[in-house]
Amino acid sequence: MPGTSINQWKSDFSDGSSESWEQLHTSQVKSSTGITISPELFEKLYLPKKAAPSDFRKRFANPAPLGSMGSVISGMTFAVILMEWGGATTLVGVAGIFYFTGPILLLLATIFEWVMGNFFSMMVMGMFAVFWLSFGVLETPSWGIAASYSKTGNTAEGAASVGYNAAVALYLMVWGFWLFTMWIFTLKTNTVSAVMFLLSFCSCFVLGASYWKVSTGDYPMAMKLQKAGAAIFFAVALLGYYMTVAMIAAEMQIPLKFPVGDLSSLWPKPDIESAETDKAE
């Protein structure tokens, strides 16, 4: 292309009005002085490469502490009220933990963990988000679920009915089996997470048994099981609090060590990961 200056090439390419970049690479660029330069040199001179960050951790904040914080606040509040600390007897007064404090932060964390490609964290955050939402529906009288079990539409009567309590008991037991399954997978992460899930599925089974005892009319045993399940759940919340603080400290680069007991080193590396490690070495 005689007579075409380098500046003209630069202008045309930036405006998108010249030949395609593929055509540029198949030709030689000649300046007005008659000096021919290769497309590679032209690119280095006028189109400096800007590395597109492929690691999302360099571009976005870690969403895990956000979701964990919401779950911890909701879980701790839930546990202490079930244990009737300070004379608390009902969860209606803190219905916000079931709709806002826990679920919103957990759902946001779920979305961002998905964007960043963190599969297991995404699963955990999404799982607990719907757990709190579902319990919010059960504990909010305006939904009328308990009242639907009463012939007169009385909420208190429905909440004490066999059908309602048996249904909630079965629901909690299903959650217990699923949390047990997730606990198996946490054995590849760290000790704190593994203990949290171990206690979580135990708590679900104990709380489920509490509802089951209500359905059979054994109220004294039901109350004991409720407080026992709540105490276990409180321990889960404390461990979650520790894990959240550990994550925040790591993100803020605070020179304090919060050991979590890494378990990943005890498992064999996947073939792909091993190949990448060998290649890097």
Q: Name 30's bridge partners.
A: 36
- Delimit the domains of the chain by residue range: 6-46, 63-263
Q: CA 17 from chain center: how many Å?
A: 46
5 has a pLDDT exceeding 50: no
Residue range 178-189, pLDDT digits in tens = 999 999 999 999
Range of lowest pLDDT (47-56, 96-105, 215-224): 47-56
CB burial of residue 258 (10 Å; 0-12, 13-18, 19+): middle
Residue range 68-122, pLDDT digits in tens = 999 999 999 999 999 999 999 899 899 999 999 999 999 999 999 999 999 999 9
- From residue 19, give the alpha-carbon distance in Å to each of 25, 134, 258: 10, 58, 58
Q: Output the pTM of the full model.
A: 0.76
